[in-house]
Amino acid sequence: MKRFYIAPVALALTLSLVFVLPRRGDVALTSLSLQAIDMEQKTPPLHMGEWIATATHPSEKEVQILNPDTTFIKGMYQSYDMPPLYAHGRRFDNAINLSIVISGFDINNSIHRPERCLRAQGHIDMLSLPVDFTTPGGKNIKVQRLTSTFPIAPEKDGGKPFPVGFVSYYYFVGHKHLTHDHWSRTLIDMTDRLLLGTDQQWSFVILSMPYNLGQNLSETEKNRQNADKKIRQLLGELTDVMVDWKQIPGN
């Protein structure tokens, strides 16, 4: 009979922890460098060596899916040696797109996994893997590399979508942590709230670049490698200046 009562009692004790956990702690701010990012104008670093950088604005749809106090910063980066993009018989200038999402007061509902958002936008054939990465400044971090295919809709009804490839890299920056993994970020939040009574503000950083799908696998792979090389170059340069490394232990 005693065993019969063990499970209900244990469950009751576990649920009672809800009343002793802090509902909302003090917020420890993200360790993005305010010297590199203009929070007032919501612009990313624009003076980046030979890159031609332009601040852009999030779409209305992007803004609507986030909490009102979330900060959304976007930019477009081009260089002289980036190959153009072709779709529906037209030639387009190519660019690397940077998005930075800084969580607001409701930290749990400000940032989502990019795989979820990209899939909702229409990206298919998605493959996401962690990779080791070293910045030009010698910072060794782990980031998430994401490849996908995006069907560009035709201008006229009745036409077939034109697929292009995408390479993306992303990571999360907290107050004292930089991680590539959404679940690690969640675990850090739970630990901080339970043991320290604080919330860690997070920033989500993602860079994406499209590339042409070739006539065969060899040509497609070459185009993907070229896109990967360019995006890694910009990722390293931006990460060195955007992250306040003094706040990140071990760096």
pLDDT tens digit sequence for 198-229:
777 888 999 999 999 988 999 999 999 999 99
Q: What is the largest CA-CA distance in the chain?
A: 77
Judge whether 15 lies within some domain: no
Whether the per-residue pLDDT at 165 is higher than 90: the answer is yes
pTM for this model (two decimals)? 0.84
Judge whether 12 lies within some domain: no
Judge whether 144 lies within some domain: yes
Residues 6+ apart with CB under 8 A from 241: 33, 36, 45, 48
Judge whether 10 lies within some domain: no
Count the domains in the chain: 1
Judge whether 156 lies within some domain: yes
Residues spanned by the domain of 100: 25-247
Nearest to 143 by CA among 166, 169, 168, 167: 169
What average pLDDT does the structure give for the chain? Answer: 82
